[in-house]
Amino acid sequence: MKSILEAPFLVEMIRTTTNMYNHGWDERNGGNISLLLEPEEVAEYLDIRHVIRTIPTGFTAPELEGRYFLVTGTGKYFKNVEVAPDVNLGIVRLVDSGRQAELLWGYSDGGQFTSEFPAHMMSHVARLAVDPANHVVMHCHPANLLAMTYIHDLDERAFTRTLWQMCTECIVVFPEGVNVLPWMLCGTNEIGEATAEKMKTARLVVWAQHGIYGAGKDLDETFGLIETAEKAAEIYLKIAHLPLVNTISDEAMHLLEKRFGIKAREGYLD
């Protein structure tokens, strides 16, 4: 059996968490990632019949029965994933309609998955219903997007339009826009349910005064999605206090729709 440390999905998870920490998105133990894995790719590296222990999840998700996930651990620092992946990451399989998670590898210090695990799994259910290829849910605290929620209207159309107007690529990268939640208590099923509902119509969900959730087909796509929105928020903060002389017009964005074969969210362009 191959070494789990050589598994492409683990190598990429380590690279991504390290990159996110270096971007300043995941201070201390902030942020978490879950990656949906296929049984056959896990079986190349682990004996999937061997369960180390079982961890209650605190929610139900029958849609994810038998599914495998690589998940960052609770209270773990992204900067430490590279040096101790077996402590800071874990591979689990959901059973009992999602009420239990069987640990197959990782969390070797006795830990468990992120406290945002319910929010992640609920978002996976929502995104898989929209796009069966969705394999990643990523949560982090990008400073500019977070700061933007203190000074910008949280109306989703207004928030999206501002980001679209900051960078030409934004409407191309996330034509469905950005959804926004007002401040809610983190680590609860309530915020998980609210986030999952928002995930039905967009791959980016901003948690006001907290951070952002992103979803995508793989780690690179999801990272790039958040990175693009964060860059737009950075530009907004640099110019928000200045008189606006130029912008990307709705007419220009319609041209981008035609050029790149995308469709902006209905009603978001004039």
In this structure, the answer to whether residues 138 and 244 fall within a common structural domain is yes
Nearest partner of 181 among 212, 143, 137, judged by Cα: 212
Q: Are residues 133 and 264 in the same domain?
A: yes
Give the structural domain span for 18.
1-114
1, pLDDT greater than 80: no
Statement to judge: residues 166 and 102 lie in one domain: no
Residues 108 and 12 in one domain: yes
Residue 25's pLDDT is what? 97
Annotated catalytic residue, options 102, 116, 156, 176: 116
221 is catalytic: no
Helix 117-130 vs helix 189-199: crossing angle, to nearest 10 = 20
> Residue 82 pLDDT more than 90?
yes
Task: For 212-228, write each residue's pLDDT tens digit.
Answer: 999 999 999 999 999 99
The Cα–Cα gap between 229 and 237 comes to 12
pLDDT at site 242: 96
Judgement on whether residues 151 and 201 belong to the same structural domain of the protein:
yes
Output DSSP code: residue 264. P
β-pairing verdict for 89-95 and 100-106: antiparallel
Tell whether the model's pLDDT for residue 263 goes beyond 90: yes
- Number of independent structural domains in the chain: 2
Q: Is the pTM of this model over 0.75?
A: yes
Compute the average pLDDT of residues 194-205: 97
In this structure, are 107 and 135 located in the same domain?
no
**Distance, CA of 10 to CA of 8 (rounded, Å):** 5
107 with 130, same domain: the answer is: no
Reply yes or no on whether the pLDDT at 187 is more than 90: no
What gap in Å lies between CA 205 and CA 199, rounded to an integer? 7
Using one digit for the tens of pLDDT, what is the confidence trace for 11-24?
A: 999 999 999 999 99
Question: Contact at 8 Å (CB) between 97 and 60?
Answer: yes
As a whole number of angstroms, the distance between CA 179 and CA 250 comes to 20
Query: pLDDT category, 269, cuts 50, 70, 90?
Result: very high
Model confidence at 165: pLDDT above 90: yes
pLDDT of residue 182: 97
Q: State pLDDT tens for residues 88-108.
A: 999 999 999 999 999 999 999
Task: Give which of 84, 75, 90, 71 is closest to 29, Cα–Cα.
Answer: 75
One-letter amino acid identity for 215? A
Whether residues 96 and 121 share a domain: the answer is no
Same domain for 109 and 149, yes or no, is no
Q: 121 and 238: one domain?
A: yes
Helices (H), the chain: 8-22, 39-43, 85-88, 117-130, 143-151, 156-166, 170-173, 189-199, 219-239, 250-260
Where is the domain boundary, 60, 81, 114?
A: 114
Share of the chain above pLDDT 70, in %: 100
Same domain, 150 and 72: no
Task: Using a pLDDT cut of 90, give the percent of the chain over it.
Answer: 97
Q: Which of 51, 84, 114 marks a domain boundary?
A: 114
Average pLDDT score over residue span 51-67: 95
Q: Which of 64, 93, 114 is the last residue of a domain?
A: 114
CATH of the domain at 246: 3.40.225.10
**Do 97 and 134 fall into the same domain?**
no
User: What type of residue sits at position 248?
Assistant: I
What's the whole-number mean pLDDT along residues 33-61?
96
Whether residue 113 has pLDDT greater than 90: yes
